[in-house]
């Protein structure tokens, strides 16, 4: 079988397609033929050696995938040959509260990733793909969609509330789509007027270009009659958290889910205290949450936004596009 590997050293240019032996499913495992893989910013950080710099080469990156069951091991009860399935990012997190130890089971580092023709995974690490979704669409669900879903469920977003989403990457676009289905008013930020126009077509009620309006928290509050927003999905981290707090209404909620702007920050502590704000981080979600989200998707027939599709032979180009931030929604790879 073919696989895409980080070869010899870190960096996008180190990615190569190689031949590997096809695995066989162990007891309790499911062998899946991968049809589509979606890329996340996390995958870029792994390829560049920012995350998990002690990986042993060669290593297959990428965290999310969808495909078809081609064989099952003994004691597999959840799936059968021919089922369409999607990978669960944190393989060991089936349900209940998060445990730090679960992070040792994440696909795409430290566990081998999904840029392989065939992958054998425990049945607990897969979910049934909603039948109305294509494999390209389903491959975008494990990290981006589930992160957005959890961001709006930790403190449930209510009909009529105002949600602020940052940028137009996978998590933010899913949060916009979910927020509109939940009846929220959505304000979207982007550095591109073209992308903001596309966000409006998806349902964004109001938009702000943060490149031309750098102190955007004031503009956000003005759009809310000076009161601020109820809910923020913060993907920037250090570059955005302080402004997110200032944009928030009293008693509001921030889901801090990304580090697109670095890893260290300072905040206006006085504003934070007087907002009575709740800020919560999250690590995607459990398989149970994934299945709950899928039921919501099915009920509303929501379709993920796939910006571009690359063959595996153009994997380097796909990562370059991710690195440049040109995409709107998700970037997907298919085997050639």
264: confidence class by pLDDT, cuts 50, 70, 90: low
Beta bridge partners, 248, equal: 229
Q: Is the pLDDT of residue 261 over 70?
A: no
Structure tokens at 127: 């979910």
Buried b / exposed e along 280-314 (16+ C-beta atoms within 10 A): eeebbbbbebbebbbeebeeeebebbbbbebebee
How large is the average pLDDT for residues 43-61?
A: 96
What is the predicted pLDDT for the residue at 275? Answer: 84
How large is the average pLDDT for residues 39-65?
A: 96
**What domains, with CATH codes, occur in the chain?**
2-143+285-334 (3.90.180.10), 155-281 (3.40.50.720)
How large is the average pLDDT for residues 169-197?
A: 98
Beta bridge partners, 2, equal: 19
CA dihedral 34, 55, 147, 96 (to 10 degrees): 100
Number of H helices and number of E strands within the chain? 10, 15
Whether residue 62 contacts residue 95, with contact meaning beta carbons closer than 8 Å, is answered with no
Structure tokens at 294: 């899928």
Q: Is the pLDDT of residue 292 over 70?
A: yes
What is the predicted pLDDT for the residue at 23? Answer: 95
Q: Is the pLDDT of residue 259 over 80?
A: no
Collapse the DSSP code of 297 into the 3-class scheme (helix H, G, I; strand E, B; otherwise coil) and give the result.
helix
pLDDT greater at residue 269 or residue 55: 55
Q: Is the pLDDT of residue 239 over 80?
A: no
What is the predicted pLDDT for the residue at 260? Answer: 53
**Poorest-confidence range of 23-27, 45-49, 259-263?**
259-263
pLDDT greater at residue 262 or residue 71: 71
Angle, vertex CA 294, rays to CA 291 and CA 298, nearest 5: 145
Q: What is the mean pLDDT of the chain?
A: 95
262: confidence class by pLDDT, cuts 50, 70, 90: low
Report the predicted TM-score, pTM, of the whole model to 2 decimal places.
0.95
Long-range contacts of 221-229 (CB under 8 A, 24+ apart): 221/246, 221/247, 223/187, 224/162, 224/249, 228/252, 228/275, 229/162, 229/163, 229/164, 229/187
Residues 6+ apart with CB under 8 A from 18: 2, 3, 4, 5, 7, 58
How large is the average pLDDT for residues 281-303?
A: 97
Q: With both helix axes pointing from N to C terminus, report the angle between 287-300 and 146-153 in degrees, rounded to the nearest 10.
A: 90
268: confidence class by pLDDT, cuts 50, 70, 90: confident
pLDDT greater at residue 29 or residue 267: 29
How large is the average pLDDT for residues 182-199?
A: 98
100-138 per-position pLDDT tens digit: 999 999 999 999 999 999 999 999 999 999 999 999 999
53: confidence class by pLDDT, cuts 50, 70, 90: very high
pLDDT above 70 as % of the chain: 98
What is the predicted pLDDT for the residue at 276? Answer: 83
Beta strands (DSSP E) in the chain are 2-6, 15-19, 29-38, 64-72, 84-87, 118-122, 126-128, 162-166, 185-190, 206-209, 229-234, 248-256, 278-281, 306-311, 330-334
CA distance 161 to 308: 32
196-229 per-position pLDDT tens digit: 999 999 999 999 999 999 999 999 999 999 999 9
133-165 per-position pLDDT tens digit: 999 999 999 999 999 999 999 999 999 999 999
How many other CB atoms are there within 10 angstroms of residue 131's CB atom? 7
263: confidence class by pLDDT, cuts 50, 70, 90: low
Whether residue 249 contacts residue 224, with contact meaning beta carbons closer than 8 Å, is answered with yes
Given the structure tokens 């494990």, which residue do they identify?
142
265: confidence class by pLDDT, cuts 50, 70, 90: low
Beta bridge partners, 186, equal: 163
Query: H/E element holding 200?
Result: helix 193-202
């Amino acid at each position: 079988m073919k696989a895409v590997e980080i070869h010899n050293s870190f960096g996008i240019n180190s990615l190569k397609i190689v031949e590997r032996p096809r695995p066989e499913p162990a007891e309790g495992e499911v062998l899946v033929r991968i049809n589509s893989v979606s890329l996340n910013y996390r995958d870029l950080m792994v390829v560049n050696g920012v995350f998990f710099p002690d990986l042993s080469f060669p290593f297959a990156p990428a965290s999310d995938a969808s495909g078809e069951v081609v064989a099952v091991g003994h004691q597999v009860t959840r799936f059968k040959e021919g089922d369409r399935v999607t990978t669960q990012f944190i393989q060991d997190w089936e349900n209940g509260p998060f445990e730090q130890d679960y992070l040792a089971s994440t696909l795409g580092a430290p566990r081998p990733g999904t840029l392989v023709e065939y992958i054998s995974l425990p049945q607990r690490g897969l979910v049934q793909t909603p039948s109305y979704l294509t494999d390209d669409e389903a491959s975008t669900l494990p990290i981006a969609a589930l992160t957005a879903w959890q961001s709006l469920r930790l403190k449930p977003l209510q009909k009529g509330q105002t949600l602020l989403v940052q940028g137009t990457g996978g998590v933010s676009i899913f949060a916009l789509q979910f927020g509109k289905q939940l009846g929220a008013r959505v304000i979207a930020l982007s550095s591109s007027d073209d992308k903001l126009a596309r966000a409006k077509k998806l349902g964004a009620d109001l938009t702000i270009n943060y490149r031309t309006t750098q102190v955007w928290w004031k503009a956000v509050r003005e759009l809310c009659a000076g009161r601020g927003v109820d809910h923020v999905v913060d993907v920037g981290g250090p570059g955005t958290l302080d402004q997110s707090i200032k944009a928030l209404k009293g008693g509001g909620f921030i889901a801090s889910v990304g580090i697109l702007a670095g890893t260290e920050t300072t905040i206006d502590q006085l504003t934070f205290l007087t907002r009575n704000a709740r800020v919560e981080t999250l690590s995607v979600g459990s398989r149970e949450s994934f299945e709950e989200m899928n039921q919501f998707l099915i009920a509303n027939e929501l379709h993920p936004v796939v910006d571009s599709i690359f063959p595996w032979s153009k994997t380097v180009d796909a990562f370059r596009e991710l690195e440049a931030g040109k995409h709107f929604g998700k970037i997907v790879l298919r085997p050639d």
